[in-house]
Amino acid sequence: MAEQKEAKWYVVHTYSGYENKVKANLEKAVENNNMQDLVLEVKIPVEEAVEIRNNKRRTVQRKMLPGYVLVRMVMTDESWYIVRNTRGVTGFVGPGSKPLPLSEADFAGLMENRPTTRIDIQVGDEVRILTGLFENFTGRVSEIDPISKRIQVIVYVLKRETPVELEYDEVVRETP
């Protein structure tokens, strides 16, 4: 392999669920072999997500790339060998046996923290509105837009169906 002076980010494939163990094993191997100048950083990209379940909000951290670890390193035969032979690593991402570095834009996109929200409400569920003009009205969910994090609820006003668009946290699911 051609020696490079500049450290770049590489994607390393691991056994799924072993990302934290691979990170720890790799950091220990780098320290034991005194290769801190070649393997500079090991990261597991995670995102914070808000889950709304049973009408309770929880913030959880989820791995963005299950089964993968990012390694910032100067690619040499020694650094390639130490990463490739770390327990739990199945290989580098790239064609054949040649690892491809991530571009700076791709790396920045992976590390950008975008909070996501997951809810346990589905289309057709009966919900109660918590705030606004229709507070305490009940209605049926007709549409969920995960991009804008909004829910469309059909409520009955004066015996007519009226669509109301609300935020995720402005409704709670009615228990039957």
Q: Which range of residues forms the domain containing residue 20?
A: 8-117
Domain of 145, CATH number, reads 2.30.30.30
The reply to whether 15 and 78 lie within a common domain is yes
What pLDDT band is residue 114 in, cutting at 50, 70 and 90? low
Q: Using the predicted structure, report yes or no on whether residue 113 has a pLDDT greater than 70.
A: no
Q: What is the pLDDT of residues 40-85, one digit of tens each?
A: 999 988 877 777 777 677 788 888 888 999 999 998 889 889 999 9
The reply to whether 112 and 125 lie within a common domain is no
Report the range of poorest mean pLDDT among 31-35, 48-52, 141-145, 168-172: 48-52
The reply to whether 84 and 140 lie within a common domain is no
Domain count of the chain?
2
The reply to whether 93 and 151 lie within a common domain is no
Quote the strand ranges of 104-149, DSSP E: 116-119, 126-129, 138-145
Question: Token pair 């009226």 is at which residue?
Answer: 162
pLDDT at 115: 63
Q: Name the nearest CA neighbour of 163 among 147, 142, 132.
A: 142
First to last CA, the chain: 65
The reply to whether 127 and 72 lie within a common domain is no
Domain of 16, CATH number, reads 3.30.70.940
Q: Using the predicted structure, report yes or no on whether residue 2 has a pLDDT greater than 70.
A: no
Q: Please tell me the distance from the alpha carbon of residue 118 to that of residue 53, in angstroms, as a whole number.
A: 8
The reply to whether 110 and 133 lie within a common domain is no
